[in-house]
Amino acid sequence: MPIDDAWWKSAVVYQVYPRSFADSDGDGVGDLGGILARLDHLVGLGVDVIWLSPVYPSPQDDNGYDISDYQDIDPLFGSLADFDRLVAAVHERGMRLVMDLVVNHTSDEHPWFRESRTGTDSAKRDWYWWRPGRVDADGASVPPNNWGSFFSGSAWALDPVSGEYYLHLFSPKQADLDWENGEVRQAVYAMMRWWLDRGVDGFRMDVINLVSKDPALPDGLPYGGGPYGDGSPYYLCGPRIHEYLAEMHREVFAGRPERVLTVGEMPGVTVADARLFTDPARAEVDMVFQFEHVGLDQGRTKFDVRPMRLTDLKASLGRWQTGLADVGWNSLYWNNHDQPRVVSRFGDDGPEHRVRSAKLLATVLHLHRGTPYVYQGEELGMTNAPFASVRDIDDIEARNHYAHAVAAGEDPAEVLAGLRAMGRDNARTPMQWDASPGAGFTTGTPWLPVNPNHTTINAAAAVADPDSVYHHYRRLIALRHNEPALVHGDFTMLLPDDERVYAFTRHYRGTTLLVLANFTSEPVDVDVPKDLLDGAEPILGNGPYGEPGRLGPWEARVYRRVE
C-alpha cells in the first residue's frame, strides 16, 4: 500500500482502558466481556481502531504495565478464548484492534526475571540491567549510578541474595530489559509475531524510545535539592534506538499482506527525532506519541501545575505540524490513561461551559493533520474526579510522589491539589454509561469509585441528546472520513500571538478549511483575512452560528471554501 494512501491517515483510534471500561461479571473490574458488550457504542461513534491497554497477566503493581506473561490474558480480564472472540467481533464490525506493547521492562514476577535473579551465573542474568553497587565514603553499598525513577526514588533496587542491583526506570516491580542482548530482542519479536498471527492489527509501544541505554550507565546531572540525577540523556532515544526499531520492522512487520499500525510512545522526543522515527523510507514506526504539549502547564514536576498559555499551545502544536509536513506523521491526542481529563485541564468543566469547551477541544484537535486518538469517556466530556484525600488515590506514581514530597517538607494540601489536577486516576475512574449507582460500569463495587457527576454525564444521556459532546465527536469523525483536505491538506497557523483565539487553515486541491476557536468564557472579535471567509460556508460548530467575525464563549467553528 502506498504510504500516502495508508489507511491509518484517515482513521480515528479509540483507547480502551480495560479495568475501567465495562465489567461483565460484577467483580468491580472491567474485562474483555464488558468490552465486547459495548462495541456498538464505538461503532456508533464511527471509530476505526481500538487500542487496548494491557490485558496480559500481571501483578497489577502499575495496573497491567508490569507484565508477567506476554502470551496470555490475565484472568482478571478473561481468557485467550475471550480475547479471540473480541478480535473477531471487532473485525466483524469493520474495526481493527491494536494492543499495548510493554517491552522496556517486565514485571519482577515474569519467568525471565525470576530466572535472571537466581544468581550471577544465570543464563538470563544479562537479559536485565544487573550491576554491582558502588561504595560510598562510609563504606556502604550504593546504587551503580544516581539515576532517579519516574515513580520517585532511585532507579535501582538491591537484590539481597546476590548483593547486586537491577535497573527499574519505573517501579521496582518493573525491571528494565537489556536490549543490548540479541536474545531479548528475538524473544520480543517472536511474541509480537504470535499476536499478529492471532489477528491483532498492530501495537502501541509503551515508552519504546527508552529501550536503548548507554551501556556505560553514567551518572546524570543532579536534580536540585535531592540525591538523584537525571539519567534521561543516557536512555531517551539512546545510541541504538533506530537500529532496534528498524530491526523490529524487518523481523515483525515487513512482508505482512496489509500494513499494521505501529505507534511509538516516546517521552522527550523532539520534532527532529520524530522525523527520523516516522519517515516511511526508514521503516521504523508509523507515528509517535510526543509529550511536549501536555507538559506546557507543568513546572518542576508534572504535579507542579501552572496556567497553560494558549500561545504556548499553538507554538508547540504548530511546530509539530510544520516539522512533519513533508516527512512522517503526527498522532493527535489530549487524553490517555496517563493524562488528566482535558475538559478539566484546558477547558472549563463547570456546568455552563463544559459541553461547549469539550466540543471546542475536540474540534481543534481533530482538524489538525495527523491521526486523532479518543480516550474512553472523552466523547462524553468526562471530567476530573473530586479526590477528597490521598487515601482515595490508587495510582502508584501519585502515591509515591505524595509520600516523597511530604517527607521532603512540602505542604500536604498543596501536594494533594497537584495530584487532583494532574493525577492519572482522573483518567481511570470507571466509564460513565448511565445514571445508575454503578454508572452502568458494574453491578458490584468498582475498583475505583465512579465520578459522582455520572448521574448527569453519561453515555445514555449523551446518545439521546443530538446536541451532546458524543454527537459532536461523531460528526468530527465522519468529517475526517469524508473530507480529503482534513487528511491530506497542508496546515497554516493564523493569529499565533493571540491569547484567546486558536485559528488555522487546512488546504488541499482547491478546498480550504478554516478553523476558529475561542478559548475563553467571553465573546471575542476575530480578525480573520476576508478572503478566507468570502464564499466559505460553515460546516461544523459547537453552537448556533453567529457573525463570521465574532465568536461566543468557548465557541468553535469550521468553514469550508472551495475554489
Active-site hit among 31, 265, 273, 555:
265
Q: Are 508 and 485 in contact (CB under 8 A)?
A: yes
How many residues comprise the chain? Answer: 563
What's the maximum distance between 2 C-alpha atoms anywhere in the chain? 79
Return the DSSP state at 405: H
Q: Are 433 and 382 in contact (CB under 8 A)?
A: no
Cα torsion angle, 75, 80, 81, 82, sign: positive
Active-site hit among 164, 206, 273, 348:
206
Return the DSSP state at 120: T
- The rounded distance, in Å, linking the Cα atoms of 50 and 211 is 25
Catalytic residue list contains 265: yes
- The rounded distance, in Å, linking the Cα atoms of 107 and 111 is 9
Interior angle at CA 368, CA 365 and CA 369, nearest 5: 135
- The rounded distance, in Å, linking the Cα atoms of 132 and 135 is 10
495: helix, strand or coil: coil
Q: What is the DSSP string of 144-198?
A: SS-BBPTTSSBSEEE-TTTSEEEE-SS-TTEEEB-TTSHHHHHHHHHHHHHHHHT
Q: Are 387 and 419 in contact (CB under 8 A)?
A: yes
507: its cell numbers:
488546504
The strand pairing partners of 505, in sequence order, are 492, 514
Catalytic residue list contains 206: yes
Give catalytic residues, as residue numbers. Answer: 206, 265
